[in-house]
Chains A and B, each alone.
Chain A
Amino acid sequence: KAGVTQTPRYLIKTRGQQVTLSCSPISGHRSVSWYQQTPGQGLQFLFEYFSETQRNKGNFPGRFSGRQFSNSRSEMNVSTLELGDSALYLCASSTDPNSPLHFGNGTRLTVT
């Protein structure tokens, strides 16, 4: 069974631009979560989706948004990029919100 797939793997953007990251969960998994990993703040929860509904949201500004589609695939969007948004963005999926999370390899975003 294929794991969690995130695209693209690497992304370079300029301050002020926006970016969309994509995540395909493991087949049969309906819950998708997003995390941001930086050297300074470590791993921080962004949001969680289940059955196309956002169930939880972390403490991030409104520039960070996401959605989940009917096939459980998810996207996250960051608008008006700032230098501090440079990070590894990790997507994780689980069969349901009470099951263990399986992570993808992440998208490394660099904002210049």
Chain B
Amino acid sequence: GEDVEQSLFLSVREGDSSVINCTYTDSSSTYLYWYKQEPGAGLQLLTYIFSNMDMKQDQRLTVLLNKKDKHLSLRIADTQTGDSAIYFCAETENTGTASKLTFGTGTRLQVTL
């Protein structure tokens, strides 16, 4: 079955860049996603990348995709205290629908002053 792996914890200082990494297993995934979850809240869609792309940039966020190594990363530039949250990467299963996602365990990002 599919398995998505992430490191559990990352601590960065305010103003630095954060890089959150993820490895996935389904090479046929159509989309790969990054979601953010703050305490007591649901999942906020941050960004996503098509499997035929290598990079996507959206303001402070940069997503890099290495299909050969099945590695996905999310870079947050100029990290702020409001970025403290749990970040989930997710892949789509090849069922003919992009709605069935397999999530990683989540990376807790702590931003210190």
Are chains A and B native binding partners rather than an unrelated pairing? yes
Given contacts A42-B103, A42-B105, A43-B88, contact A103 B44 (CB under 8 A): yes
User: Interface majority SS on A: helix, strand, loop or mixed?
Assistant: strand
A84 on the B face (CB < 8 A): no
Which positions 76-95 of chain A face chain B at CB distance < 8 Å? 90, 92, 94
Distance in Å from the Cβ of B43 to the closest Cβ of chain A? 4
CA distance A44 to B88 in the complex (A): 13
Q: Are A101 and B45 in contact (CB under 8 A)?
A: yes
- In the complex, which of the residues B48, B98, B102, B106 has the most CB atoms of chain A within 10 Å of its own CB atom? B98
Q: Are A98 and B98 in contact (CB under 8 A)?
A: yes
Q: Are A100 and B97 in contact (CB under 8 A)?
A: no
Q: Are B106 and A42 in contact (CB under 8 A)?
A: yes
Q: Are A43 and B103 in contact (CB under 8 A)?
A: yes
CB contact between B99 and one of A6, A90, A97, A104 (< 8 Å): that residue? A97
- Given contact pairs A43-B101, A48-B99, A100-B98, a sample of 11 additional A-B residue pairs in the complex whose CB atoms are under 8 Å apart: A4-B42, A31-B99, A42-B104, A45-B100, A90-B43, A92-B43, A97-B98, A101-B33, A103-B35, A103-B45, A105-B40
Interface residues of B (CB under 8 A from A): 30-31, 33, 35, 40-45, 48, 88, 90, 95, 97-106
Closest 8 pairs between A and B when the two form their complex, measured CB to CB: A97-B97, A43-B103, A103-B43, A105-B42, A103-B42, A98-B98, A97-B99, A48-B99
